[in-house]
Amino acid sequence: VRASNLTLQRVNLRRCTNITDKGIEDLVVSCAGHLERLEISSIPSMVLLATHCATSLKHLDISFCRHIRDNDVGYLTVSCPNLTRLGLYGCTQISSLFLQGQALDDLVCYGHPLLTGLKLRS
């Protein structure tokens, strides 16, 4: 995949529990500059995607990625300035500190039990 130079704009890897961080990284690197939407729900862990998708990623769904912490999500949101939607279903380990302190004006977080359907705006 890495050598393919893919122009994929949307990738859905929900419940692909056997995919590794390396596999996700190779996919994201090969789609660099094109990937706008990435759904990696239920994957046990993830790499810091920001270095490869910072300019293009608009929608990221990391629902049920239980190993992700506040600082990981914070780094992603700061490094991906075009990110407008962030799915957090089942991410109960993400605290209210992140939810209240995220920096992107246009970022809509959804799916977290502490949100109760509100859009977060700075």
Q: How many CB atoms lie within 10 A of CB 17?
A: 9
- Domain edges within the chain: 2-110
- pTM comes to 0.73
| Chain CA centroid to CA 89, Å | 12
Size of the chain in residues: 122
> What DSSP state is assigned to residue 120?
P
65-79: pLDDT as tens digits: 888 888 888 877 878
What would the pLDDT profile of 26-35 be if each residue is shown by its tens digit? 887 788 788 8
Per-residue pLDDT at 121: 47
pLDDT at 91 over 80: yes
CATH homologous superfamily of 2-110 equals Ribonuclease Inhibitor (3.80.10.10)
